[in-house]
Amino acid sequence: MSAQNVQERTDVVTFKGKPMTLQGPALEAGAPAPEFRLTAGDLSSLTLDQLVDAGKRAAMLIVVPSLDTSVCSLESQKFNQRLGELPAGVSAWVVSMDLPFAQARWAGAQEGDVRLGMLSDYRDRSFGRNYGLLIGELDLLARAIVVIGKDKNLAYVQIVPEVAQEPDYDAALKAAAAAA
User: Which residues are the active-site residues?
Assistant: 72
C-alpha span between 43 and 144 (Å, rounded): 23
Identity of residue 168: D
List the alpha helices (DSSP H) in the chain: 48-51, 70-81, 100-109, 126-130, 169-178
Burial of 21 (0-12, 13-18, 19+ CB in 10 A): middle
C-alpha span between 82 and 86 (Å, rounded): 8
